Structure 1
């Protein structure tokens, strides 16, 4: 659980960008309107999510076919080809009555930026993990193109490095796809970049499968969309925010499992880690003991539907099940208390729950999930970011570009697959908190990992950066 070193985030370099281009499908595509699902167009997904991939210049990979080739040119050409079967990504979102979102498939294209940076990959540090220095330079926010409606749905920037490696950063309109759907699309680009004659997975739209019933009827309890008034100003302030990443490998998870009671030994690593972070974060924020706090777990529902969603479906297909507790009980009880709550919340997601959720979106006007006194975690360790190969081998790092993204920065963390500088595989978790709360958070984690008092997981380095993107 190694925090990002201060030297990593103090790196300063210069990026030279070419003018942004609109990349359209490489062949004619249908001109039509396609509705998003009632899971896609909820308020909580109407934002841009940043992802970043770092690649070395591996001269031994792929033989002579990729040696000396320009990654920006290769990826740009493959992107145009991929947008033929995935043509909705080249369109623009419009809003109809009832806040219903539809894609106007007009082939206008996605934004593409070609850039060069006067830095090598090694200068980013041995262990690449969020927060990344100069992220706003590696993923440029083109003025006038960052909206949810009437704007490009995808922005990709390929930045060549002095060492011959490159960085691929992208920003996705979250209403179009979840992590699994985005990786499916990017893998299509990667396959075409490597010269594949056809895609291994064909895209499936079928958004009607996740739309509300007629008439809509919310049959389940959805505490994730409670209307909670923030009367005490508990939403995290955006100034003086600290971004840190924490690595959990086999030793760290073994230390946490010491706190798991016998009847919960079958719990997953996700459940244990989530319970730990929720408890430590709550203690760090010091809410009133009587206040109700909540953990929101992202649950992929593709296999939960009956029948399961078709292979190739790339829309949003997940739920936000929530566990609730008073802050006092969560802070004072052993880890098993939080663990049972997390486990039960995940188990709530069934086929009927998902259909009820789509109905709720229509009945309540597509609300935002509750963020008051909430913490959201999303596990992308199996999404496939680390397997995206555009012809230069696997990424050194692949996944979300930062924690705390969304309409309310600081509420969300991702679980990202990671290999530390010792070669140990595990999970890295970016966390975003106000300065004093981050210090208390680190102290609580030190207590949980007291078996390893000298572990770099609890180093005292603090990096203050402003929220961006």
Structure 2
């Protein structure tokens, strides 16, 4: 394990006053209900995204903040619900009032060049609060701007585009669709290549609602033994998994499981190592919840190509902690594969029905571990005229108000970076468990894995 020995990166950011960017043309004033998949407690939070862009000599003299701000106004003509505000009605039902007020935008400058961030750009990023300023009064879910954007120019001619989204409005695929529309406008397009589609009724509950699938992710669990991870003394590290590490994991499972996907292998490994690290009682239940995009599960009819609402579920697997830790990796892998296979159009419909019947609950947090693969989401592909980002994706290794139970799989070079957040002692145990699992059986050499340590 090779923690970074460099001193923490320090820089200054000078920000202009936040402004509201409305659609550049008049848009309808109407009320648009979100879907019953959008409208669950689990998604009532803000999620930060960040993209780093290098200098492009061909764009010399063009101001990225101005280009993006103007393109944003044009894109909001088509995506005008983003310029509105969420309102809450009877039964906690959320509706977008399309007011045309706009999204928050901050223009800024930093006294640092992109190269000073180093080659290993991955979350968590230093001084994130400076790169995505928390405008007072903007953090709420109801009656607040739905998107906050900060464009920070760098000394080298590059820039950082950071964004915070109210997750009720969109998932990763929907957000990337909107960001690509802004990028197309910035490059001169008059309309998005993929027209946005609202149609949130497609993922609403049935009438009458009826839960037809088993949803262990929404079990009501009491933390009777106090094993919820504390939020203090949290350590952030990023762990890299390249072809060698994935091959090492694949060698640990039976032949009939070696065709498992990288996501399945990695999820089983992390669940097992993390459970051993947090040390629950052997008889306590632990959960793995896999965030799975369901767009491909809708066939008759399919979800429209331009649909930008949340279209995923959290299918979960449950095990006694002792069984998970003591059994070989194949045991966890079988559970992960089974959970993933449960996702279907009927499963999504059943989740929507459960939301209405049970008051839009949060997924189970107690002894849960949530994984989300954004390696194919396309954040790094968004082009505002300066080409692709050198990093594009989550700005931190978790989501929601409770730290430590969610991780993202982020693309990095020829592999995947997993930012993780755990209390200090648990992080050391996790790293040791993982090192044992992915080391070469004969050499046990440290260079078979690259651990990148970061601290906020």
- What's the TM-score, normalizing by structure 2? 0.97
In the TM superposition, residue 351 of structure 1 has moved relative to its aligned partner by 1.3
Q: How does 1:13-32 map to 2 (within 5 A)?
A: 13-32=11-30
Which residue of structure 2 lines up, in the alignment, with residue 413 of structure 1?
407
In the TM superposition, residue 7 of structure 1 has moved relative to its aligned partner by 2.7
Q: Select between 262-271 and 23-32 the one with higher mean Cα deviation.
A: 262-271
Q: Distance in 1 between matches of 2:163 and 2:140?
A: 15
Match of 1:435 among 414, 424, 428: 424
Which residue of structure 1 lines up, in the alignment, with residue 343 of structure 2?
349
Q: Distance in 2 between matches of 1:265 and 1:336?
A: 9
Q: Distance in 1 between matches of 2:273 and 2:419?
A: 14
Which residue of structure 1 lines up, in the alignment, with residue 61 of structure 2?
68
Which residue of structure 2 lines up, in the alignment, with residue 392 of structure 1?
386
| Residue 36 (structure 1) aligned with residue 31 (structure 2) | no
In the TM superposition, residue 232 of structure 1 has moved relative to its aligned partner by 1.9
Match of 2:46 among 34, 45, 48: 48
| Residue 370 (structure 1) aligned with residue 364 (structure 2) | yes
In the TM superposition, residue 344 of structure 1 has moved relative to its aligned partner by 0.2
- Residue by residue over 1:38-58, the C-alpha shift from the partner in whole angstroms, topping out at 9 and shown as x without a partner, is 000100000000000000002
Report if aligned partners of 1:93, 1:102 keep a CA contact under 8 Å in 2: yes
| Residue 260 (structure 1) aligned with residue 259 (structure 2) | no
In the TM superposition, residue 463 of structure 1 has moved relative to its aligned partner by 4.3
Q: Distance in 2 between matches of 1:164 and 1:126?
A: 17
- Residue by residue over 1:167-206, the C-alpha shift from the partner in whole angstroms, topping out at 9 and shown as x without a partner, is 0001000000000000000000001111123311000000
What is the number of residues matched between the two proteins?
A: 452
463 and 184 in structure 1: CA distance in 2 versus 1, 3 angstrom threshold: closer
Q: Give the secondary-structure state (helix, strand or coil) at the position aligned to 1:417.
A: strand
Q: Give the secondary-structure state (helix, strand or coil) at the position aligned to 1:395.
A: coil
Which residue of structure 2 lines up, in the alignment, with residue 222 of structure 1?
215
- Residue by residue over 1:220-260, the C-alpha shift from the partner in whole angstroms, topping out at 9 and shown as x without a partner, is 11111000011222221111101111111111111111112
Which residue of structure 1 lines up, in the alignment, with residue 184 of structure 2?
191
Q: Distance in 2 between matches of 1:251 and 1:184?
A: 33
| Residue 449 (structure 1) aligned with residue 449 (structure 2) | no
The two structures, once aligned, show a CA RMSD in angstroms of 1.3
In the TM superposition, residue 296 of structure 1 has moved relative to its aligned partner by 0.3
432 and 187 in structure 1: CA distance in 2 versus 1, 3 angstrom threshold: same
Q: Give the secondary-structure state (helix, strand or coil) at the position aligned to 2:205.
A: coil
Q: Distance in 2 between matches of 1:6 and 1:281?
A: 25
Q: Distance in 2 between matches of 1:252 and 1:384?
A: 24
Q: Select between 403-412 and 337-346 the one with higher mean Cα deviation.
A: 403-412
Report if aligned partners of 1:113, 1:156 keep a CA contact under 8 Å in 2: yes
Which residue of structure 2 lines up, in the alignment, with residue 208 of structure 1?
201
Q: Distance in 2 between matches of 1:234 and 1:110?
A: 40
- Residue by residue over 1:391-440, the C-alpha shift from the partner in whole angstroms, topping out at 9 and shown as x without a partner, is 11111100000112212111100011111xxxxx1111110100000001
Q: How does 1:319-334 map to 2 (within 5 A)?
A: 319-334=313-328
447 and 354 in structure 1: CA distance in 2 versus 1, 3 angstrom threshold: same
Q: Distance in 2 between matches of 1:7 and 1:206?
A: 50
Report if aligned partners of 1:377, 1:412 keep a CA contact under 8 Å in 2: yes
Which residue of structure 2 lines up, in the alignment, with residue 337 of structure 1?
331
| Residue 163 (structure 1) aligned with residue 162 (structure 2) | no
Q: Give the secondary-structure state (helix, strand or coil) at the position aligned to 1:83.
A: helix
In the TM superposition, residue 457 of structure 1 has moved relative to its aligned partner by 3.4
Q: Give the secondary-structure state (helix, strand or coil) at the position aligned to 1:187.
A: helix
462 and 192 in structure 1: CA distance in 2 versus 1, 3 angstrom threshold: closer
- Residue by residue over 1:267-302, the C-alpha shift from the partner in whole angstroms, topping out at 9 and shown as x without a partner, is 111000000000010011111111100000011111
The gaps in structure 1 that reach 5 residues or longer are 420-424
Which residue of structure 2 lines up, in the alignment, with residue 238 of structure 1?
231
The gaps in structure 2 that reach 5 residues or longer are none
Report if aligned partners of 1:156, 1:170 keep a CA contact under 8 Å in 2: yes
| Residue 110 (structure 1) aligned with residue 103 (structure 2) | yes
Match of 1:151 among 119, 128, 144: 144
Q: How does 1:96-135 map to 2 (within 5 A)?
A: 96-135=89-128
Report if aligned partners of 2:238, 2:453 keep a CA contact under 8 Å in 1: no
Q: Give the secondary-structure state (helix, strand or coil) at the position aligned to 1:7.
A: coil
Which residue of structure 1 lines up, in the alignment, with residue 131 of structure 2?
138
Q: Give the secondary-structure state (helix, strand or coil) at the position aligned to 2:297.
A: coil
